[in-house]
Structure 1
């Protein structure tokens, strides 16, 4: 089980299909800008991602006649949720790095413990380019003594919120209220 969005899967898919993925891709592109200075892999990934971003913008945002209030609201909500995810990932990365420092461990050594052979892969995990697996986070919890609430995002994607609310409505159980984040 993966715990969040995977930017490499999006690039492999070859198309951005919704505002949430667009906002996540914008954040990932900024991260990749920094990482691409030292890695050809990240440089190539960033180029592909930028092409997808441009294609989505041309398709969804170039015709002013198509821009509805609903589209703007969707964009605003997606931007807020993507930023919340970004902050969570950054905080998690700092917590892990601080614990590694106190234990005199490197990020590469943590990768070895988790069974990840590549330094690049560990960097992708730490920076939110690829998602940690649930198993990775359990090991980090046990090894570094970091609370699971700090490791696993406990908020839902916009898509999941819509699906859940639709299911509640279809069941006729409007008294069930989904918590807000």
Structure 2
């Protein structure tokens, strides 16, 4: 599952293309609202993100005659998925902060250990604005003794689940099935 929503890359793409990305953008906007008080960089990101949200909503939601039940269902499912992603990222941040505090380390100290020079960059990582690298998460796992399942999402998006199921069907291997933990977001 793509829980590592990189806002800057998203903004560079120049558009929101589906309901899940809209929900992720709305959550990112809320995070940036708080962070924009600290930094002009975050304030500028938020403005660009809000512009993308507005364009998408005007295109997809302004004409009530074009709204279908399927569109509303997709929106509801996307909202649930994005919220679960947000909760995962928030829990991860709290786990890291708790361990840092116990070890008398700061977020800035962790950034130094991970090789991140910028305090802003470390803030972006901790707040889910930018994704941690796998290497970062492995170092955090080993250094802070946080269970890897708390650091790396182990669930699959609905799209990935469908791809895996289709591949299994194509291979004619019915004995191969995704474990229940992987089906966290199935509907």
* Structure 2 stretches lacking a partner, 5+ long: none
Alignment of 1:1-181 (within 5 A): 4-171=4-171, 176-178=176-178, 179=180, 180-181=183-184
- Aligned-pair distance for 1:18? 0.9
Normalising by structure 2, what TM-score? Answer: 0.89
Matches of 1:133 and 1:146, distance apart in 2: 16
Computed over aligned residues only, the root mean square deviation of the Cα atoms, in angstroms, reads: 1.8
What is the count of residue pairs matched by the alignment? 180
Asked whether the 8 Å contact 1:28–1:129 carries over to 2, the reply is yes
TM-aligned CA distance change 1:56 to 1:174, over 3 Å: farther
* Structure 1 stretches lacking a partner, 5+ long: none
TM-aligned CA distance change 1:109 to 1:83, over 3 Å: same
Matches of 1:62 and 1:172, distance apart in 2: 45
TM-aligned CA distance change 1:50 to 1:145, over 3 Å: same
Normalising by structure 1, what TM-score? Answer: 0.92
Asked whether the 8 Å contact 1:100–1:144 carries over to 2, the reply is yes
- Aligned-pair distance for 1:72? 1.2
- Aligned-pair distance for 1:148? 0.1
Any runs of at least 4 consecutive aligned residues in structure 1 with deviations exceeding 6 A, and if so which? none
